[in-house]
């Protein structure tokens, strides 16, 4: 099962992905987690990523595409994966397609968590991550609408999109996601 989870910052992608990975026995691949680890250990990528992340901006597509190209080639991804935080631009989605077709693979479903904006801001303010300061949050939401939201239509046109309400308890949302993948 090759899955993507989409949603605005604060939609609950990371929380739900960590649960879904158990249900499908596939690795949860979060670009945000990979980048935060690189920032922590001060790798060359981490040093570059830090500037973009603290400004609430996306890293350039080529950097992320290279990172994911390597990650998806690792052995644990050969039987499926759940992508969280990638793709985040149409350019990244096209690059992902190329990577997958080159390996005779395809995306099975794109799960889209829908959450009202005021709930997103409330959740992000409650979460004390380094890039969860109020002005950075606003910037990340702006960037989401401008650069990532077009992916909803991109995957809808291909018949891959499964939109689910991302409000309620964590368990309720997980159930909705599991049902939407099974249908
Ligand atoms: P996340 O944990 O997915 O919200 O990601 C945190 C930050 O990492 C984002 O605000 C971006 O600065 C950076 N980032 C994560 N994934 C990507 C991506 N696919 N493309 C560009 N930047 C990314």
pLDDT, tens digit (0-9, with 9 covering 90-100), for 86-137: 999 999 999 999 999 999 999 999 999 999 999 999 999 999 898 999 999 9
**3 membership: H or E segment, kind and range:** strand 2-6
Nearest one of 141, 171, 152, 164 to 58, comparing CA atoms = 141
Instruction: Give the C-alpha separation, 97 to 106, whole Å.
Output: 7
Instruction: Using DSSP, state whether 162 is helix, strand or coil.
Output: strand
84 alpha carbon to ligand 1 midpoint, in Å?
A: 10
* Atom 6, ligand 1: residue with shortest CA distance: 32
Instruction: Give the C-alpha separation, 63 to 43, whole Å.
Output: 14
Q: How confident is the model at residue 60 (pLDDT cuts 50, 70, 90)?
A: very high
* Atom 22, ligand 1: residue with shortest CA distance: 58
pTM: 0.97
Q: In residues, how long is the chain? A: 183
Task: Examine the residue annotation and report whether 176 is marked as an active-site residue of this protein.
Answer: no
The whole-chain average pLDDT of the chain stands at: 97
Task: Examine the residue annotation and report whether 127 is marked as an active-site residue of this protein.
Answer: yes
**70 membership: H or E segment, kind and range:** helix 61-72
Per-residue pLDDT tens for 148-171?
A: 999 999 999 999 999 999 999 999
Q: What are 83's strand-pairing partners?
A: 4, 29
């Amino acid at each position: 099962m090759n899955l993507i989870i989409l949603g605005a910052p604060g939609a609950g992608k990371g929380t739900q992905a960590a649960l879904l990975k158990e249900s499908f026995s596939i690795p949860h691949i979060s670009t945000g987690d990979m980048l935060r680890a690189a920032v922590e250990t001060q790798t060359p990528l981490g040093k570059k990523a830090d500037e973009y992340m603290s400004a609430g901006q996306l890293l350039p597509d080529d950097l992320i595409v290279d990172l994911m190209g390597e990650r998806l080639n690792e052995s644990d991804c050969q039987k499926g994966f759940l992508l969280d935080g990638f793709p985040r631009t149409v350019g990244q989605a096209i690059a992902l397609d190329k990577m997958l077709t080159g390996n005779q693979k395809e995306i099975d479903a794109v799960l889209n968590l829908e959450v009202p904006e005021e709930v997103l801001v409330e959740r992000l303010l409650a979460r004390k991550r380094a890039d969860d300061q109020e002005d950075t949050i606003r910037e990340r939401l702006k960037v989401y609408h401008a650069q990532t939201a077009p992916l909803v239509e991109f995957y809808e046109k291909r018949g891959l999109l499964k939109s689910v309400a991302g409000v309620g308890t964590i368990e309720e949302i997980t159930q909705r996601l599991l049902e939407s993948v099974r249908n």
